[in-house]
Amino acid sequence: MARHRAPRTSGSASAAGSASASAAASDSAAAFASGSATASASATTSGSASVSASAGDRLLLGTARHSAGRAAALALIAVASTGAALLLPLALGHTLDLLLARRGPDAGRWTVLCALLVTVPAALDAAGELLTGTTAAHATARLRHRLLGHVLAAGPRAAGRFPPGDLVTRAVGNAADTGTAPATLAHAAASVAGPVGGIVALGLIDPWLAAAFLAGAPLLAALLRAFTRASTDSVARYQRHQGEIAARLVEALGGARTIAAAGTADRERARILEPLPRLSRQGRRMWRVQGRSTAQAGTLVPLLQIAVLAVAGLRLSQGLLTVGDLLAASRYAVLATGVGMLVGHLNAAARARSAARRVAEVLDVPQVPYGQRRVPAGPGTLELRGVSVVRGGRTVLDDVSVTVPGGTSLAVVGLSGSGKTVLAEVAGRLADPAAGSVLLDGASLPSIRREDLRRAIGYAFARPALLGGTVGGTIGFGAFAPGREALEGAARAACAHDFVRRLPHGYDTPCADAPLSGGETQRLGLARAFAHAGRVLILDDATSSLDTATERRVSAALRASAAATRLVVAHRPATAATADRVLWLHEGRARAVAPHAVLWQDPSYREVFHA
């Protein structure tokens, strides 16, 4: 998609991260997103203010520590290769002096040594490349597993904070760039040995040679520092714009039918690619930074080498150096000015550091904490006490209190934006309130163990995600696997059994091969809820796509389900009428709690359904 590819690091195993985003959002994430303020892609990808650069640096160093053994082996290989390269000029110079002195036998032995010093680094470099790749692969795999586990543990919080496409970019591309850190740091540390060893060797040959080189060393250090700063900034901006494009692409893929129906494909393509010029500018900027640094180094490095050779030639003319010393000094000057490798490693480190910050932003999203308490014995009484929820600076629920006695049902009604879906989230702890508490049989939901809570509270959504692989797997998808008999019983209760039997392979039909309507998909979600019915069953507009007759049958099955307590977000009068009581929400507050027949006398209540 980008017209300019980011400069890749020579000698490093940077894995390119592409943002191919086609992940299905979970039911809970969909519920959270529908009730939360839409996160701006540009805001989230620009970096959360709560995550400092040090968080990314800690993640980078932690990744390096976890691969310390491999990185140490890699550094040893690189140092050994550098050591051979440092010995080679000395051996070549001494061999040349022996040949000029016509000492053939000794020169032959030294020639063999020179050949070994040439071949051994080649073998070490090959081993180093292999170890570099495996080190990066292991570090990347560990990061991706950690990131995936954290996102799933954070649940809807992560899905509400980052657009899906941006999350995929961070988990795929940025994790891969961060995974190169151990190998990059090992190479960078080892690459210092070449210049340092070259300078020391120059000093051993003649102190004036080292002094000549060190006279220009401050300029070389300033060049490297300027490159690192500019490269870090441009890489960070490039990765951010990549995330923007990926987020918009996934958003468009999710709304493909709407785009096709509206005939706005060209406009949508322009919207998706709107950050592309900025991405292109940062790509060109990275090339300019690297090109300028290379050009500056290309000017400075030869001048340093010429200075060293000039001093060496002068000392040779004075009889203080041999021809072999001159040859060795010329090669050591090249090693001492090994800025090319340093620039490459610094560029890779800049990419890894910028990527680590983006990964750390996701890891900074707090996971949902659970207690160790088991669900106490009881009929399934659900209590909301003074619950308030604030999202995007807006109070969505304001001091809502309601009790649903065990074995009864509560319908939640209200105009669009009144907080119905948010209340459903809070009631089953897909989200926590900013104030107040939610209790199940007297125990606060945060104090209950995750496994027990998810067994006790079941959900069905308006747009269920088919996550089970097959139709039967979708119905059985949950905290425990129901038996085949229970699975089919749940499908019958949700009026799904008949159409499932007509599928090519029945319950074993892959979801991708099952052409389902919106109502059929919704019935599968209801079947899943029935199959995992615990003490509380929460239906968030889960019958909106059903016809009246089917909804009536489902409502009858719901009343007879194993779930003792039922909370139903309702948009139809018939749905509200089947509940024991109705919670009428208005602008986030509880306007009334009473039976539907009583509330129906109020014209304002009737207007909720007409609207």
Q: Helix 181-191 crosses helix 339-363 at what angle (to 10 degrees)?
A: 150
Cα-based angle 40, 368, 394 (whole degrees, multiple of 5): 40
When pLDDT is averaged across residues 124-152 and rounded to a whole number, the result is 90
User: pLDDT averaged over the chain?
Assistant: 82
pLDDT of residue 7: 39
The domain locations on the chain are 48-363, 382-610
45 pLDDT tier (thresholds 50, 70, 90): very low
According to the model, what pLDDT value does residue 55 have? 85
Indicate if the pLDDT at residue 387 is higher than 90. Answer: yes
Using pLDDT thresholds of 50, 70 and 90, give the confidence band for residue 328: confident
Name the more confident of 566 and 39.
566
CA–CA gap between residue 461 and residue 297 (Å, rounded):
61
- Per-residue pLDDT, averaged over 295-304, amounts to 76
Q: How far is CA 477 from the centre of its chain?
A: 25
- pLDDT category of residue 287 using cuts at 50, 70 and 90: confident
* pLDDT class of 563 with cuts at 50, 70, 90: low
CATH node for 382-610: 3.40.50.300
Q: What is the distance between the alpha carbons of residues 137 and 182, in angstroms, rounded to a whole number?
A: 11
pLDDT reading at 167 higher than 50? yes
Handedness of CA 172, 173, 178, 184 (dihedral sign): positive
Q: Is the pLDDT of residue 560 over 80?
A: no
Cα angle at 480 between 474 and 483, to 5 degrees? 75
| Residue 581 predicted with pLDDT over 90 | yes
- pLDDT-wise least confident of 163-172, 190-199, 387-396, 534-543: 190-199
Confidence of residue 53 (pLDDT cuts 50, 70, 90): low
For the domain covering 48-363, report its CATH number. 1.20.1560.10
Query: What digits encode the pLDDT tens for the residues 511-557?
Result: 888 888 888 888 899 999 888 878 899 998 887 778 788 888 888 77
Higher pLDDT pick, 443 / 297: 443
Q: What is the mean pLDDT of residues 582-593?
A: 94
What is the C-alpha radius of gyration for the chain, rounded to an integer number of angstroms? 34
Q: What pLDDT, in 10s, does the model give residues 589-605? A: 999 999 999 999 999 99
**Cα–Cα distance, 409 to 505 (Å, whole number):** 36
26 has a pLDDT exceeding 60? no
In the predicted model, is pLDDT for residue 567 greater than 90? yes
Any idea which of 119-133, 211-225, 460-474 has the lowest mean pLDDT?
A: 211-225
pLDDT at 256: 81
Q: Which of these ranges, 53-57, 244-248, 292-296, 406-410, has the smallest mean pLDDT? A: 292-296
Report pLDDT for 23. 34
Predicted pLDDT of residue 41: 35
Question: In this predicted model, what pLDDT tens digit does every residue of 253-285 receive, in sequence order?
Answer: 878 878 888 888 888 889 899 999 998 988 888
Task: Enter the pTM of the model.
Answer: 0.69
CA distance 590 to 211: 82
User: 481-499, pLDDT tens digit by residue?
Assistant: 888 888 898 898 888 998 9
Q: Which residues contact 253 (CB under 8 A, 6 or more apart)?
A: 21, 22
DSSP 445: G
Helix (H) or strand (E) holding 437: strand 435-440
Residue 503 has pLDDT above 80, yes or no: yes
Q: Is 18 helix (H, G, I), strand (E, B) or coil?
A: coil
CA distance 243 to 168: 8
Cα torsion 124, 130, 134, 137: sign: positive
